[in-house]
Amino acid sequence: MPSLSLYPLPDLNSYDISPVTGFLPERQPLERLPSYFDLWENLVSNIVELLKQREFRLSVNKMPLLSCDRLKDDRAYRRAYSVLGYIAHAYIWADEAYVNRLPTQLAKPWVEVSDYLGLLPIASYSGLILWNWKFVNSKHPQTISSFEPGNIEILNTFTGSSNECWFYLLSIYFEYVGAPCITTGLKAIEYARKDNPRKVIQNINTLTKQIEVLKKLLTRMHEHCDPSFFYTKLRPFLAGWKNMKNAGLEGVYYGDSSKILRVYSGGSNAQSSLIQTLDLILNIKHKPCCGGHKSKENDSFSNEMKKYMPRKHRDFLNHLSKVNLLRDYALNNAETCPELLRAYNSAVTMMKQFRDGHIQLVTRYIIIQARNAQKCTLPNSKTPKIGLANAKFQKSSELRGTGGTELIPFLKRCRDETENSLAGSIN
């Protein structure tokens, strides 16, 4: 405990985190790159039609190599990262058959942009969610007073469907609503350092209510995103190139002459820094085990997903891991202040309930849909199978998420590990 008190608490501004919007930028993302990059922008804006006409890959193959030197600031690099991610995933999963190589004119700038941002070249949560929106009211593009789903629009999609837009919008709103959790958690840690249990209890109770709001948000997905649409139309495009052998893809070569097969996870909510922040604040630990195979501590799935987060957000999580002490503080004061222990355990229980809600959501949108797809598939069908949704059918315990994990076993393990973090007796 003394060593933790000597380590400074993280300054949100230093890590590109807002107390109002959290891991979302307060200033709306760049809506379009400079005219030099019109070829990229035109491709991504016409992605739906080009895919429908089966001309998308041909259009990308005709595209010249553009220089990233024309990208002048972080907003431009973020926009480029998002645009190139959409183009690349559409290129790999277009038509009836996947390809396993990206042309140089797409791969080279994508790698350069990703390196600049400290990200892996894949369509990650950052490019799909954090940097892929604008305010509806263009007269006040930097206003953050009303971040409701109805007041923001999605910049790019794979399908052009309102179903896909809602899937992204709800995730954006989730990040916004979850922003206060960050400051509340840091206040609780600060008061624990000052040995003020009453203030710690107050902030932990507030955090519990904030997590409950996030849990309830999960139930809104069905309002405008049809499970069948998500499973069959959108999910295949979100898939990366990791653990995709059942879909026929072992990895992707980046560049015409590349001999290196790259294997990356696709866009996943596990790449949300907010979820890992909540785990760290509450000292919820997840075992270093992924895909059914034990691994070294540094290879845990949580640490693996940090590679898909913006560099500063990743650094924030590392900083937070050095100052989080709430569980120990609750245990050390259990006898003199039992209500502190109860408050802490209530927050952990709410996180467990949040994960229960996530499992229910995944069951509805993936597990049940996979079973339905299997029933509709003809035994001797010769239709090429591409993407996650059309991959060889597996048992629900073997279905993989877009991040490449064995979906249900992973989620249940995270839920159980959350419950196992409960501190002592709450009698």
So where are the chain's domains?
2-419
Do 71 and 80 meet the contact criterion of CB atoms below 8 Å apart? yes
- According to the model, what pLDDT value does residue 402 have? 56
pLDDT at 113: 98
Paired sense of beta strands 252-254 and 261-262, if any: antiparallel
Feature table: binding site for heme b: 358
Residues of the chain with pLDDT under 70: 1-5, 138-146, 289-299, 376-406, 425-427
pLDDT tens figures, 171-190: 999 999 999 999 999 999 99
Q: Is the dihedral of CA 109, 113, 115, 119 positive or negative?
A: negative
Nearest to 79 by CA among 124, 30, 115, 114: 30
pTM for the whole thing? Answer: 0.90
Do the Cβ atoms of 34 and 80 come closer than 8 Å?
A: no
Q: Mark the binding-site residues, compressed into ranges.
A: 358
CA dihedral 78, 80, 86, 91 (to 10 degrees): -150
Q: Domain 2-419 is of which CATH architecture?
A: Up-down Bundle (1.20)
Q: How far is CA 166 from CA 63, 160, 162, 184, 222, in A?
A: 31, 11, 6, 28, 9
Rg of the chain in Å (alpha carbons): 22
Query: Which is it for strands 289-290 and 293-294: parallel, antiparallel or unpaired?
Result: antiparallel
